[in-house]
Amino acid sequence: MLDGELGEAKQTAMGILAALGKIYNAEKMIPVKNAQVAGVSYKTIGDAGLEYLEHLASKGAKVEIPTFMNPAGMDVEQWKGMGIPKDFAEKQIKILDAYKKMGIMSTYTCAPYQIGIRPGKGEHVAWAESSAVAFANSVLGARTNREGGPSALSAGICGVTPYYGLHIDSNRVARVKVKVEAELKTENDFGTMGYYIGKLVGKEYPAFHGIKADEIQLKLLGAAMAASGAVPLFYVKDITPEYVVTDDAEEIVFTENELKEMKEEIDSREKPDLVTLGCPHASIDEIKKVAELVEKKKPTSKFWICTARKTKEEAEKLGYDKIIKEAGGIIVADTCMVVCPLKEMGFNITGANSGKAAKYLPNMCKQKVAYGDIEDILYR
Ligand code: F3S
């Protein structure tokens, strides 16, 4: 591949992987089961990214293993109704076409594990979306580094990745413990703790004890730590499939005070123009919960629930879509509040229950954030 015997596109992709391998002293390449490519929204990759992808596609680049996409900058079916600017949509469609030409699946989700793509414990993958990386490593026990868009795409094209970092078991050791004394009740509580701990630990792998959590809560926790810090792996005692901590780990204590202060720091206390839920993308259970809530009492703000298209279709079949529409909301597929052009669509204050969304909305979308539990932000 590196010598170009299998074509220019593979040579370019292997060049990227080989360079990464050299930087990190990888002893070899290993096969990966699948790859997840980030850098799909026109908003995040711009014209330079579009040109690069079109160039690769024109050189005949094709993926060798199942490879799927992160959210795009718009719902590919209802973008007009959502007020996405036409020139943005045209560029976005070109990006999606280039990826499709390479054989990449149009999943457009940051939570592939909710639509059946769930690598098992010990399986090697190459994922780029930071929240999905944290989920795959921690909740599923799979092995992936926090890939960049180009390295994940290269892994998809070549079917391998350099063997370093979190692919090697002996590197997957937590050196920070987190003793949780706060009582965490909602997804927002988990996202808030993640926001706080991520900021504190950066790239470390925290090991939590003292909490009970379901998969949705772990998803929100990991996503926030991956955004406020760069945490690619965490453990939760008696819950995650692995829990590996050094004996001399430093211990952080997270109490009700940190929870309250962090929430106060993030929340602008304003009434949102738009409430956005589903960061990371909502599961069918999360959509069901919101549908049940808004059926009883109509929210005081417009709202979106961001999810994968497959999940939206399921919600339509189950009638949640209709209930949500009648309550002033829409189920938005293929995109999210952060990677779509919110500002250009006229929004200034966005509601979010997710720590990750709250971290990115101010910088990437120039939004003030109304932050809190779902009920708080929907009825503020
Ligand atoms: Fe997913 Fe967008 Fe949040 S990509 S993790 S919903 S910022």
CA dist., res. 62 & res. 214, Å (int):
38
The answer to whether 11 and 60 have CB atoms below 8 angstroms apart is: no
Range in 59-63, 79-83, 106-110, 153-157 with the lowest mean pLDDT: 79-83
Among 161, 114, 162, CA closest to 136: 114
Residue nearest to atom 6 of ligand 1 (CA): 279
pLDDT of residue 270: 97
Percent of the chain at pLDDT > 90 equals 99
**Block residue for tokens 């932000």:** 377
Taking the centre of ligand 1 as the mean of its atom positions, its distance from the CA of residue 360, in whole angstroms, is: 9
pLDDT of residue 59: 92
pLDDT of residue 111: 98
Residue 18: band (very low, low, confident or very high) from pLDDT cuts 50, 70, 90:
very high
Any idea of the CA torsion for 312, 313, 316, 317, to the nearest 10 degrees? -140
pLDDT tens string 214-256: 999 999 999 999 999 999 999 999 999 999 999 999 999 999 9
Question: How many other C-beta atoms can be found within 10 angstroms of the C-beta atom of residue 83?
Answer: 13
The answer to whether 273 and 347 have CB atoms below 8 angstroms apart is: yes
Taking the centre of ligand 1 as the mean of its atom positions, its distance from the CA of residue 11, in whole angstroms, is: 32
Burial annotation 5-29 (CB, 10 A radius, 16+ → b, else e): eeeebbbbbbebbbebbeeeebeeb
The answer to whether 182 and 255 have CB atoms below 8 angstroms apart is: yes
pLDDT of residue 57: 95
Taking the centre of ligand 1 as the mean of its atom positions, its distance from the CA of residue 131, in whole angstroms, is: 8
CA of residue 282 relative to chain centroid, distance: 11
pLDDT tens string 251-270: 999 999 999 999 999 999 99
Rounded to 5°, angle at Cα 279 from 203 and 222 = 30
User: Which residue among 41, 131, 187 is best mutated to probe the pocket of ligand 1, counting the most ligand atoms within 8 A of its Cβ?
Assistant: 131
Average pLDDT over residues 352-377: 97
Residue nearest to atom 4 of ligand 1 (CA): 110
User: Which residue among 279, 307, 332, 353 is best mutated to probe the pocket of ligand 1, counting the most ligand atoms within 8 A of its Cβ?
Assistant: 279
Residue nearest to atom 5 of ligand 1 (CA): 280
Using DSSP's 3-state secondary structure scheme, residue 69 falls into: strand
CA dist., res. 352 & res. 337, Å (int):
9
Taking the centre of ligand 1 as the mean of its atom positions, its distance from the CA of residue 250, in whole angstroms, is: 30
Which atom of ligand 1 is the closest one to the Cα of 132?
A: 5
Taking the centre of ligand 1 as the mean of its atom positions, its distance from the CA of residue 107, in whole angstroms, is: 14
Query: pTM to 2 decimals?
Result: 0.97
pLDDT tens string 99-130: 999 999 999 999 999 999 999 999 999 999 99
Which atom of ligand 1 is the closest one to the Cα of 306?
A: 6
Taking the centre of ligand 1 as the mean of its atom positions, its distance from the CA of residue 306, in whole angstroms, is: 9
Residues with CB under 6 A from ligand 1: 70-71, 110, 131, 223, 279-281, 306, 336, 338-339, 356-357, 360
pLDDT of residue 88: 96
CA dist., res. 193 & res. 220, Å (int):
10
Taking the centre of ligand 1 as the mean of its atom positions, its distance from the CA of residue 70, in whole angstroms, is: 9
Which two tokens mark 352? 């979010």
The answer to whether 148 and 181 have CB atoms below 8 angstroms apart is: no
Residue nearest to atom 2 of ligand 1 (CA): 336
Which atom of ligand 1 is the closest one to the Cα of 131?
A: 5
pLDDT of residue 27: 97
pLDDT of residue 60: 93
pLDDT averaged over the chain?
A: 97
Sorted by sequence, the CB contacts under 8 Å of residue 280 that are 6+ apart come out as 110, 111, 131, 132, 135, 219, 220, 223, 354, 356
Residue nearest to atom 3 of ligand 1 (CA): 279
The answer to whether 285 and 214 have CB atoms below 8 angstroms apart is: no
Which atom of ligand 1 is the closest one to the Cα of 281?
A: 6
